[in-house]
Amino acid sequence: MEISTTLSDTPVSEARLSEILVDPGFGVHFTDHMFTVEWTPEKGWHDARITPYGPLVLDPATAVLHYAQETFEGMKAYRHADGSVHLFRPEANAERMIRSSQRLALPELPVDDFLAAVEALVKVDARWVPEAQGEKSLYLRPFMFASEKFLGVRPSQHVTFMVIASPAGSYFKGGLKPVSLWLTEDYTRAGRGGMGAAKTGGNYASSLVAQQEATANGCDQVVFLDAQDGLYVEELGGMNMYFVFRDGSIVTPATGTILEGITRSSIIALAEQLGHEVTERRFAIDEWRSGIASGDIVEIFACGTAAVVSPVGELRSAAGTTAAPASTELTMKIRSALVDVQFGRAEDTNGWLRQVL
Ligand code: PLP
Ligand code: COI
């Protein structure tokens, strides 16, 4: 893929950038450039370019605005103490985007082109990758959407893939403290044959009322149960879950209707390397309640790229409150094992990092 580059005439000043990087928040500031490539059936992927960051001009009939045919990814670039910049398992994001795109009838962007796009943007906006202190990073948001001007319901014949980047600090406003969860019994996230395993905007749109319900009930995040029986824990709006038992074993809900997190699979590997048995299986909401009551479940945590690893506190629902687990010890140990690799403080024995600069 040939990528042309047009640099911004009005990049953010060094003084303003330093101010932003002190406390970047999540998803509020964007870098000086963006990556774009277009697809049509005749030409395939073409016209790859880095241009100054800015608004898109879209026809009101652009298909994505009506039928939500789109997919996206979330990943981060990490600066190490020696100044080098690394991506964490970006091939896994590229492969997941291919699976999501297959589900959404979008064209597949080859892994090498996905990597070239992300790396080109990180290189041109390298000064936006924060120093490692405080676990800040540059969040990367690749996304693909139906850009054809057409109101018929069929796969778009013009598709646009873009990458934008945003410096990121803590995803949760309060920093690292246990997140309280609201169990929604009215809304589900994904049914059999649906698109729960795809990273696509519609899944997040459908989660918003449930998240509003969580907020109205004083909780940080919402937890979804399976759509078929309403008995099994799936995941949070944007994170996968783990249950730690007294004997050190760990259970994480099985896949199929959940989004298979890259953090999720990394944590399974790290926990096994730390000597813990990890089982992927259906996990009933009743097992959560009884496990806390009996003390069999000693820790619960959730993970995702944006939110990293976060201890889970109380579970609230219409039926009442389940207390927070007793400990966060293993959660914090696994969290450190993960972020130490990402920030180059521990040896990357699994070969997960890809150096960009
Ligand atoms: N589940 C959902 C619904 C998500 O949006 C995310 C975030 O990307 C995850 C799980 C965790 O996935 P990953 O670890 O790849 O970021
Ligand atoms: C991520 O963790 O990258 C996500 O996409 C979760 C959320 C910001 C949608």
CA distances from 63 to 58, 135, 163, 199 (A): 10, 38, 20, 18
Q: Is there a contact between 261 and 240 (Cβ–Cβ < 8 Å)?
A: yes
Per-position DSSP letters for 188-213, written without gaps between them? -S--TTSSTTS--HHHHHHHHHHHHH
Say yes or no: domain 179-342 is CATH 3.40.50.150.
Answer: no
Beta-strand relationship, 308-317 and 179-183: parallel
Tokens read off for 314: 């109380």
- Which atom belonging to ligand 2 lies closest to the Cα atom of 199? 5
Please check the confidence at residue 259 and state whether its pLDDT lies above 80.
yes
Segment 320-335 mean pLDDT = 96
What residues have CB less than 8 Å from 291, skipping those under 6 apart?
A: 243, 245, 297
Give the number of whichever ligand sits closest to the CA of residue 197: 1
Count CB neighbours of 44 within 10 A: 9
* Ligand 2, atom 6: closest residue by C-alpha: 238
Residue 256, C-beta contacts closer than 8 angstroms, at least 6 positions apart: 196, 197
Give pLDDT tens digits for 27-46: 999 999 999 999 999 999 99
Q: What is the pLDDT of residue 119?
A: 98
Q: Name which residue sits closest to atom 3 of ligand 2, judged by CA.
A: 74
Report d(CA 219, CA 193) in Å as an integer. 30
Above 80 in pLDDT, residue 172? no
Ligand 1 atom closest to the Cα of residue 74 is 8
Q: How far is the CA of 115 from the centre of ligand 1 (A)?
A: 19
Runs of H (alpha helix) within the chain: 14-22, 64-67, 90-103, 111-124, 201-216, 262-273, 285-294, 329-342
Report yes or no: 150 and 61 within 8 Å, Cβ to Cβ. yes
What's the pLDDT at 256?
83
Please provide residue 216's backbone torsions phi and psi, each rounded to the nearest 5 degrees.
-60, -25
CA distances from 344 to 126, 127, 139, 200, 354 (A): 17, 18, 17, 31, 11
Which pLDDT tens digit goes with each residue over 176-191?
889 999 999 999 999 8
Shortest-distance Cα residue to atom 12 of ligand 1: 261
In the structure, which protein residues have their CB atom closer than 6 angstroms to any atom of ligand 1?
Answer: 74, 235, 238-240, 259, 261-264, 304-305
Distance 293 CA to ligand 2 centre (A): 32
Residue 274: band (very low, low, confident or very high) from pLDDT cuts 50, 70, 90: very high
pLDDT at 175 over 90: no
Q: What percent of the chain has pLDDT over 90?
A: 94
Pocket test for ligand 2, best of 207, 260, 305 (most atoms within 8 A of CB): 305
CA-to-CA distance for 230 and 259, rounded, in angstroms? 18
Q: How confident is the model at residue 170 (pLDDT cuts 50, 70, 90)?
A: confident
- Structural domain boundaries of the chain? 3-168, 179-342
- Considering the chain, what is the average pLDDT of its residues? 96
* Type of residue numbered 335: R
Of 169, 20, 129, the C-alpha closest to 357 is 129
In the structure, what pLDDT confidence band is assigned to residue 282 with cuts at 50, 70 and 90? very high
DSSP code of residue 80: -
Question: 212-248, pLDDT tens digit by residue?
Answer: 999 999 999 999 999 999 999 999 999 999 999 999 9
Q: Is 142 close to ligand 2, i.e. is its CB under 6 Å away? A: no
**Which class is 3-168 in CATH?**
alpha beta
User: For tokens 């109101």, what's the residue?
Assistant: 151
Phi-psi region of 73 (alpha: psi -120 to 50; beta: other; left: phi over 0): beta
Distance of CA 157 to the CA centre of its chain: 28
Q: Whose CA is nearest to atom 9 of ligand 1?
A: 239
Q: Which distant-in-sequence residues (6+ apart) come within 8 Å of 12 by Cβ? A: 20, 32
Tell me which residue has its CA closest to atom 3 in ligand 1: 238
- Assign 3-state DSSP to the chain and report helix, strand, coil percentages, each to 5: 30, 30, 40
User: Quick one: tokens of 49?
Assistant: 């370019």
- The two domains 3-168 and 179-342 share their CATH topology (first three levels equal): no
Q: What is the pLDDT of residues 148-158, one digit of tens each?
A: 999 999 999 99
Of the ligands numbered here, which is closest to the C-alpha atom of 262? Answer: 1
| Phi, psi of 46, rounded to the nearest 5 degrees | -155, 165
Looking up tokens 């500031």, which residue turns up? 29
pLDDT digits (tens, 9 = 90+) for 68-107: 999 999 999 999 999 999 999 999 999 999 999 999 999 9
Please state whether the predicted TM-score (pTM) of the whole model is above 0.95: yes
